[in-house]
């Protein structure tokens, strides 16, 4: 459990068990470090030299000293080099994460540090505070509900020292940072929760809770209604499972009545076995992650309400299990979606596009959105294309791509644009239905052919598709995100909605 507070008192007057300094690569001993050496540890320079600490990105060291009759830990963390005129925010986020990790591993109960100058990063104070707070809380996330030795139950109090004049603005930014972090970490917790404990019903109950807390309108359709409404995609995917499918719709109206809505649509497969086109064992191991998109949109809309964002948003999450059984959909079956189009299901493991087809059609028909953003752990191919550090970004609209890239850059969620072009259309043609749910093998680009499939269900609405199969789960450590669910896309969705005009 991390708690963060802001203080106008000097770092040297804080009653903490450790103090943290963030240092740029190749730093020199200025006023601050000289004073530190003079008062606390005369051979500080020698310590850095011997330990080879130069302020490189992703580096950090701890120095326990005896001070005021107590043990005090001095922690030094590297910020890396400047890129052009400024330090990078990503290196800063990692440095904040590193400080939290070092504090945890040394079992420290508190640390204080001075907020750096936002100008050094080319950002404003609000943004720096928000990012610091969000990142520290992300670093403090541990999925250890099922462990006896629980890091999450240990307290770590962080004090950010800040100028008195800035404190009021910073308190607001801190609150925003906490709301965003809570959305990210709740999303991660739902993804990490074992699949038999997080069923479509549980996900819908969670959405009800988010709606209640934030006074959102919510509608949840169960499987009989889903079938009756003609959502043949979601019904087909859920056909092999004993769990009831759910279709979740949440509405937040923070904008003017006349403002167009943003629709956030998230894939909610609470477990993807592949269905009758069953996955090999190794590919199935982490398929509890396949509801990451749904959890992201549910928690993002909750955060937008808590932030009182001046926008109208609807979040739609189709959710079900994808399992084989005697009642499961079979390869060769043909299904009909909510908008009347049909598809041949050649591979029951390409199920995400089937449930999203209904959800996108529903969004278009009932909400006439000014922008649709869908988020899905959609294709292994996306993972092969971009590896674990990016989500795939798809849109035919260059301006929208720029908007998404800017929001990604600002929020800390990283995306990489991949191709989406009419030329790929023929890849998903079928001899027996309007569409086929897998791409022809000579078209290769599996992430793109999946995106082309979705495009059939958004009509002319401005639309962004995010494939987070690459970075939703089990990333190489960046210190503030480690193994398990990453919460990829939550920060980005919130930023996109906040910057929507
Ligand atoms: N949920 C998977 C995609 C996935 C893969 C998510 C790895 C996270 C990590 C999706 O439903 C799927 O199975 N896709 C197939 C599509 C194929 C059958 C056309 C895939 O990627 O193999
Ligand atoms: Mn699948
Ligand atoms: Zn899937």
**pLDDT tens track for 230-282:** 999 999 999 999 999 999 999 999 999 999 999 999 999 999 999 999 999 99
> What is the 106 CA–ligand 3 centroid distance (Å)?
40
Q: Which residues pair with 67 in a beta bridge?
A: 70
For residue 260, indicate whether it is catalytic.
Answer: no
Specify whether the CB–CB gap between 214 and 252 falls below 8 A.
yes
Give me the pLDDT at residue 397, please: 98
**Nearest-5° Cα angle at 436, 432 to 441:** 115
Shortest CA distance to 20 belongs to which of 130, 129, 115? 115
Give me the pLDDT at residue 449, please: 98
Q: Give the domain ranges of the chain.
A: 2-183, 193-388+419-498
Pocket flag, ligand 1, residue 356 (CB < 6 Å): no
Indicate the Cα dihedral angle 255, 307, 192, 294, nearest 10°: 0
Give me the pLDDT at residue 501, please: 84
pTM beyond 0.85: the answer is: yes
**How far apart (Å, rounded) are the C-alpha atoms in residues 462 and 374?**
11
Shortest CA distance to 256 belongs to which of 312, 193, 194? 312
Specify whether the CB–CB gap between 234 and 358 falls below 8 A.
yes
Q: Which residues pair with 245 in a beta bridge?
A: none
**How far apart (Å, rounded) are the C-alpha atoms in residues 329 and 336?**
13
pLDDT tens for the chain, 501 residues: list them.
999 999 999 999 999 999 999 999 999 999 999 999 999 999 999 999 999 999 999 999 999 999 999 999 999 999 999 999 999 999 999 999 999 999 999 999 999 999 999 999 999 999 999 999 999 999 999 999 999 999 999 999 999 999 999 999 999 999 999 999 999 999 999 999 999 999 999 999 999 999 999 999 999 999 999 999 999 999 999 999 999 999 999 999 999 999 999 999 999 999 999 999 999 999 999 999 999 999 999 999 999 999 999 999 999 999 999 999 999 999 999 999 999 999 999 999 999 999 999 999 999 999 999 999 999 999 999 999 999 999 999 999 999 999 999 999 999 999 999 999 999 999 999 999 999 999 999 999 999 999 999 999 999 999 999 999 999 999 999 999 999 999 999 999 999 999 998
User: Which two tokens mark 127?
Assistant: 């943004």
CA 434, 438, 439, 441 dihedral sign is negative
Which residues have C-beta within 8 Å of that of residue 102, sequence separation ≥ 6?
A: 60, 62, 75, 77, 108
**How far apart (Å, rounded) are the C-alpha atoms in residues 422 and 407?**
26
CA 490, 92, 133, 162 dihedral sign is negative
Q: Return the axis-axis angle of helices 292-306 and 167-192, rounded to nearest 10°.
A: 160
193-388+419-498: which CATH topology? Aminopeptidase (3.40.630)
Neighbours of ion ligand 3 (CB under 5 A): 269, 272, 290, 352
Shortest-distance atom of ligand 1 to CA 438: 19
User: Which two tokens mark 448?
Assistant: 């793109």
For residue 353, indicate whether it is catalytic.
Answer: yes
Out of 98, 353, 410, 414, the active site residue is 353
Whose tokens are 């009545």? That residue is 257
Q: Return the axis-axis angle of helices 125-139 and 89-105, rounded to nearest 10°.
A: 40
> What is the 162 CA–ligand 1 centroid distance (Å)?
47
**Nearest-5° Cα angle at 167, 164 to 173:** 160
Specify whether the CB–CB gap between 469 and 382 falls below 8 A.
yes
Pocket flag, ligand 1, residue 467 (CB < 6 Å): no
Out of 260, 279, 330, 341, the active site residue is 279
Shortest CA distance to 486 belongs to which of 495, 494, 501, 476? 476
Which residues have C-beta within 8 Å of that of residue 67, sequence separation ≥ 6?
A: 40
Architecture of domain 2-183: 3-Layer(aba) Sandwich (3.40)
Shortest-distance atom of ligand 1 to CA 437: 19
Give me the pLDDT at residue 355, please: 99
DSSP codes joined into one string, 301-324: HHHHHHTT-SSEEEEEEEEEEE--
**How far apart (Å, rounded) are the C-alpha atoms in residues 329 and 61?**
56
């Amino acid at each position: 459990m991390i708690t963060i507070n802001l203080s106008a008192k000097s770092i040297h007057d804080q009653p903490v068990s450790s103090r943290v300094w963030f240092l740029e690569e190749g730093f020199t001993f200025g006023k601050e470090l000289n004073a530190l050496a003079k008062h606390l540890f005369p051979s500080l320079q020698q310590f850095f030299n011997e330990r080879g600490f130069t302020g490189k990105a992703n580096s950090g060291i701890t120095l326990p000293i005896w001070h005021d009759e107590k043990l005090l830990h001095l922690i030094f963390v590297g910020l890396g080099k400047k890129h052009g005129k400024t330090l990078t925010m990503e290196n800063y986020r990692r440095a904040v994460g590193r400080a939290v990790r070092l504090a945890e591993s040394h079992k420290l109960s508190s640390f204080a540090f001075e907020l750096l100058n936002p100008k050094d990063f080319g950002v404003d104070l609000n943004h720096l505070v928000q990012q610091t707070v969000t990142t520290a809380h992300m670093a403090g996330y541990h999925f250890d509900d099922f462990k006896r030795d629980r890091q999450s139950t240990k307290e770590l109090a962080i004090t950010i020292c800040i100028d008195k004049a800035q404190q009021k603005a910073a308190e607001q930014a801190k609150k925003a940072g906490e709301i965003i972090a809570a959305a990210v970490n709740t999303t991660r917790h739902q993804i990490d929760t074992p699949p038999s404990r997080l069923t479509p019903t549980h996900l819908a109950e969670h959405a009800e809770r988010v709606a209640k807390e934030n006074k959102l309108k919510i509608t949840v359709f169960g499987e009989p209604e889903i079938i009756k409404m003609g959502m043949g995609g979601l019904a087909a995917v859920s056909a092999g499972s004993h769990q009831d499918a759910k279709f979740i719709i949440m509405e937040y109206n923070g904008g003017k009545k006349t403002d167009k809505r943003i629709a956030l649509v998230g894939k909610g497969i609470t477990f993807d076995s592949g269905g009758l086109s069953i996955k090999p064992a190794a590919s199935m191991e982490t398929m509890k992650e396949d509801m990451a998109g749904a959890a992201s949109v549910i928690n993002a809309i909750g955060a937008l309400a808590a932030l009182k964002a001046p926008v109208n948003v609807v979040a739609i999450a189709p959710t079900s299990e994808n399992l084989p059984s005697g009642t499961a959909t079979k390869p060769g079956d043909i299904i009909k979606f909510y908008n009347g189009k049909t598809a041949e299901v050649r591979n029951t493991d390409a199920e995400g596009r089937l449930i999203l087809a209904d959800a996108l059609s529903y969004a278009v028909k009932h909400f006439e959105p000014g922008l649709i953003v869908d988020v899905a752990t959609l294709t292994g191919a996306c993972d092969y294309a971009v590896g674990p550090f990016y989500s795939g970004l798809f849109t035919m609209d260059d301006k929208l791509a720029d908007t998404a890239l800017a929001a990604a850059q600002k929020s800390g969620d990283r995306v990489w644009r991949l191709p989406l072009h009419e030329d790929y259309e023929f890849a998903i043609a079928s001899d027996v239905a309007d569409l086929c749910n897998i791409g022809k093998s000579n078209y290769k680009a599996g992430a793109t052919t999946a995106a082309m499939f979705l495009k059939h269900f958004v009509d002319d609405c401005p639309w962004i598709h995010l494939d987070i199969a690459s970075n939703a789960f089990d990333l190489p450590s960046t210190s503030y995100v480690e193994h398990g669910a990453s919460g990829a896309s939550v920060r980005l969705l919130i930023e996109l909605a906040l910057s929507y005009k």
